[in-house]
Amino acid sequence: MTASTRAIILKASLATLLSIAASLGLAVTVVPMLGGVVDGTAWLMCILCPLLIAWPASAWQFRQAQRLKDAHGEIARLHGALSAAHEALLERARRDGLTGLLNRESFLADLEQAMTPGGEGTLLFIDADHFKQVNDRFGHPVGDDALRRLAQAIAGAVGEGGLCGRLGGEEFAVYLPQTALTEAQAVAKQVLDAVRRLRIVSPAGEPVSLTVSIGAAGWTGGATIERLIAEADAQLYRAKLQGRNRAVCALNIAAVA
C-alpha cells in the first residue's frame, strides 16, 4: 500500500467519523425538538448511513484530489524537463558542433554585448598555421581531432573569464573583457605555449605539429565592433607576414622560437 493510498484511507475515515458525529448530534437535538424519539433504529441509521455513504464518497473525493495533485506535479515536472531541454537546445545551437566553442554568430553577438560603454577589452584572432597541410597529409579525421585539441588548448589557456569561439575552419577568436591590450599579452603567450605543447599523433604514429598565429586588438570604448574586428584581423595578417607562430598587436608581443 502506497503512502498516498494510506493517506486517502485515513482522511476518508476521519471524514466518516465526523459525519457520524454530526449525524448523531443532529439526531439527539433535532428529533426530540420535532417530538420524535431516538431509539435503537435511529442510532443504527445515524451510524450506518455515514458509513455507507460518507466513506465511499470521501474516499473517491480524496482520491480525485490526489490524482489531480499528482497530475499537477507531473505537469510541473514535464514543464521543467521541457524548459531544461529547450535551454539545452538553445545552448547547443550556440555551439560549434566540432569543437564545442561558441559558433561564429554567437561569438559575435556575445562580443557586441560585452562591449559595454566605458569598458575595455582585447580581441584575439587566432589562426592555425598551414592547417591545410594537416588535412592533406593526415586526412580530415586527424584534422578534426587536431581542431578539437586546438580548441581545448585555447579555452584552457584563456580560462573562464574570456569568450572563445570558432569563426570557421581553423580560425578562432577570443575576447577578454575588462582586459587591456598590455595585459592580454600574457594570455596570448599562454595560448601559444598551450598549442606548442599539444601532442597529436596520426593513426600511423606520425606526430602532428601545430602552431598558431595571433592578432590582438585592444578596445577602450571608442571603437565600433567592426573597427575592432578589422584591427584584430590586420594584426593577425602581420603575425603571418612576420613568420607565423607568434602573436602581434602594435608590436610583436610574443613569439615561439
Helix 3-33 to helix 40-49 angle, to the nearest 10 degrees?
Answer: 150
Q: Which three cell numbers stand for residue 154?
A: 585555447
Evaluate whether 193 touches 187 at the Cβ level (below 8 Å).
no
Evaluate whether 74 touches 136 at the Cβ level (below 8 Å).
no
Q: Catalytic: 170?
A: yes
3-state DSSP assignment of residue 253: strand
Give all strands (DSSP E) within the chain, no chain letters. Answer: 121-128, 163-168, 171-177, 200-201, 207-208, 212-219, 246-248, 252-255
Spatial distance between the Cα atoms of 170 and 173, rounded to a whole number of angstroms: 10
DSSP line for 123-176: EEEEEETTHHHHHHHH-HHHHHHHHHHHHHHHHHHH-TTSEEEEEETTEEEEEE
Evaluate whether 185 touches 192 at the Cβ level (below 8 Å).
no
Q: Which of 74, 91, 105, 170 is catalytic?
A: 170
- Residue with cell string 426530540: 32
Residues classed as catalytic? 170
